[in-house]
Amino acid sequence: MKIAVVGCTHAGTAAVKNMAELYPEAKITVYERNDNVSFLSCGIALYVGGVVKDANGLFYSSPSELQEMGVNMKMKHEVTNIDTDGKKIAVRNLETNKEFEDTFDKLVMTTGSWPIIPNLEGIDLNNVVLCKNYQHANHIIEKAKQAKKIAVIGAGYIGAELVEAFEVYGKEVTFIDSADRILNKYLDPEFTNLMETEFENRGVKLALNQAVTKFVGSEGSVEKVMTTDGEYEADLVILCVGFRPNTDLVKGQVDMLPNGAIVVDEYMQTSKKDIFAAGDSCAIYYNPIKKHAYIPLATNAVRMGTLVAQNLVKPTIKYMGTQGTSGLHIYDYNVASTGITETAASLFDMNVKSITISENNRPEFMPTYENITLKVVYEEETRRIVGAQVISKIDATQAINTLSVCVQQEMTIDELGFMDFFFQPHFNKPWHFLNQAGLQALQA
C-alpha cells in the first residue's frame, strides 16, 4: 500500500505516527512545504512572552523521528497538483525547484489552514506580520524587541494572548477587531466584559466595532493602522484575523463547505473513498448543532489524524464529533468554553435558555475561597445542554471538560443537577457548582 500524506502539522503527524505502527509494510511518503513538523502554534504567545524559553519545546515530533519510523519525509516539498481520480500528485522540490510526479493508493490531506490575509492597502509594508508557524513566531519576537507601539488585529484566542504578552513586555498595545466584543466566538458578554475591563485597566487600547481600512507607513515600514473609526500608531502589526482551510489542491474533486473545508464522514473519509482528510483542512461534525462546521483546533486535529490511521484500510472507529472545547489563561483569569454560546445560538436558529451562577469554589468557613462564574446554555424544548462557559481566578476549567461530555452525550440541564460529584471542603461545596447550575435551571 502506497500512502501519500500532504502536510504534516498536528493531524499529519498523528496520522503518520499511527500509520507507521499499524501498517509497517506500507510505503508512506510525507510532502511538507516547511522544514519542520508538529509546531504548536497555540504556544506562540507563551514563546513571545518569554514563558517558554526554548521554541524547540513547542515541537512534539521531528522529521528525523518520523524518518526513523520508516516514513519517507519529503521536507521543503510543495505539492502543486492532485489528480484524485488518477491517483497522481505533482510535486516541486523548493530547494532545487525540480518537479516530479508520484502516485498513491491512499491519500491523506492534512494541509491545515492558513491565516486570512485581508486585501488592504499597505498590507505589504514591513512589520505587518502573520502569526501561525515557527517562522512567524521568530519574526514576531525579533521585531517586538525594537517595537514600541504594537497593534494586534483580530480578537480571538491568539490575539488576546499576544496582547497580554506584549503588554506585560512593556509595549503600548492596541487591540483591534470588527466585532463589538473580544473573544465573541467563544464567550458571551458577561465574560468578555470582565476581560475587556482587565485589558483596559492594564493600559491596552481596545478599538472594537471597527474595521481596518488600510496601513500607512514611510520608508517601507508601517506607522499607522487606519480603521473605519480612527487611526492608531503602530510600528508593528500582528494579523490574527482568522484562518481558512488550505484545500485548493482538491477543490472541485471532493465535497466541501462553502469556505473550502473538506467534508469528511465519521471515519475521516472524503467523498472519494481512497481520499482521507483531517485537521484544519476539514469540516467536522459539531455536536451542539448536529451539523458539520469549521472548527480549527489542535485537539480536533490530533484526534482526526489518529482516526485516519485507524480507518485507512477499513471503517473501524467512528469519530464522536466535537464540541469545540477550548481554554484560555489571561492575566489572573482562567477561562474555558464548550459548545455554542447563547449569542451564537440565534445564528443556528436554535431556541435556547441559559443559567448563570456566581458561586465560591469552597465553603466560606475555609480560610480562603474564590468566586467562579459558570454559564450553561441549553435547548428550551429538549433541555439538552449545548454549551457552557466558566471564568475564575482559580482553575475551574476542568468543569468545562465535564460539560463537554454532557453535550456529547446529549444530557439535559436537569440531569446535571443530580450528577455524582465528590465533596471535600478543600476543593468544593456539598453541592458542586455544576450541580447548582442544574438545580437552579429547574426553578428558572
Phi and psi at residue 229, to the nearest 5°: -130, 5
- Angle at 364 (CA atoms; ends 362, 368), nearest 5 degrees: 70
Q: Is 282 a catalytic residue?
A: no
Radius of gyration for the alpha carbons in the chain, expressed in angstroms and rounded: 23
Residue 421 pLDDT > 80? yes
| 3 state DSSP class of 92 | strand
Give dist(CA 357, CA 190) in Å, integer: 11
Per-residue pLDDT at 332: 95
Per-residue pLDDT at 45: 86
Helix H, strand E, coil C: the string for 219-285 is CCEEEEEEECCEEEECCEEEECCCEEECCHHHCCCCCECCCCCEECCCCCECCCCCEEECHHHEEEE
Query: Amino acid letter at 286?
Result: Y
| Residue in the block written with cell 492594564 | 202
Class of residue 307 by CB neighbours under 10 A (exposed 0-12, middle 13-18, buried 19+): buried
Q: Which CATH class is domain 117-239?
A: alpha beta
Contact 239, 212 (CB under 8 A): no
| Residue in the block written with cell 488518477 | 86
DSSP 32-47: ESSS---B-GGGHHHH
* Tens digits of residue pLDDT in 226-251: 999 999 999 999 999 999 999 999 99
Within 10 Å of residue 70's Cβ, how many Cβ atoms? Answer: 14
4-8, 36-40, 46-50, 311-315: segment of lowest average pLDDT: 46-50
- Cα dihedral across residues 187, 193, 194, 195: positive or negative: positive
- The secondary element (H helix, E strand) that includes residue 217 is strand 212-218
Per-residue pLDDT at 358: 97
C-alpha grid cell, residue 68: 526513523
Phi and psi at residue 314, to the nearest 5°: -150, 150
Confidence of residue 444 (pLDDT cuts 50, 70, 90): confident
| Residue in the block written with cell 491519500 | 107
* Tens digits of residue pLDDT in 404-414: 999 999 999 99
Q: Which of 8, 10, 292, 406 is catalytic?
A: 10
Residue 55 pLDDT > 80? no
* Tens digits of residue pLDDT in 252-287: 999 999 999 999 999 999 999 999 999 999 999 999
Class of residue 410 by CB neighbours under 10 A (exposed 0-12, middle 13-18, buried 19+): middle
Per-residue pLDDT at 58: 84
Contact 210, 176 (CB under 8 A): yes
Phi and psi at residue 183, to the nearest 5°: 50, 35
Please state the CATH superfamily assignment of the domain spanning residues 333-442 in this structure. FAD/NAD-linked reductase, C-terminal dimerisation domain (3.30.390.30)
Q: Where in the chain is the domain with CATH 3.50.50.60?
A: 2-34+61-113+243-311, 117-239
Per-residue pLDDT at 38: 87
* Tens digits of residue pLDDT in 64-123: 999 999 999 999 999 999 999 999 999 999 999 999 999 999 999 999 999 999 999 999
Q: Where in the chain is the domain with CATH 3.30.390.30?
A: 333-442
Contact 144, 43 (CB under 8 A): no
Indicate the length of the chain as a whole number.
444
Per-residue pLDDT at 377: 98
Q: Is 131 a catalytic residue?
A: no
Per-residue pLDDT at 140: 92
Closest CA relative to residue 107, chosen from 316, 265, 269, 245: 269
Region 340-368: what's the mean pLDDT? 96
* Tens digits of residue pLDDT in 24-47: 999 999 999 999 998 888 888 888
The residue that leads in pLDDT, 44 or 17, is: 17
Contact 344, 325 (CB under 8 A): no
C-alpha grid cell, residue 74: 519529503
Protein fold of 2-34+61-113+243-311: FAD/NAD(P)-binding domain (3.50.50)
Per-residue pLDDT at 134: 86
Those residues whose C-beta lies under 8 Å from the C-beta of residue 221, and which sit 6 or more positions away, are 125, 126, 127, 235
* Tens digits of residue pLDDT in 163-204: 999 999 999 999 999 999 999 999 999 999 999 999 999 999
Closest CA relative to residue 223, chosen from 239, 206, 236: 236
Give dist(CA 134, CA 37) in Å, integer: 10
Phi and psi at residue 388, to the nearest 5°: -165, 155
DSSP 57-91: GGBS--HHHHHHTT-EEEETEEEEEEETTTTEEEE
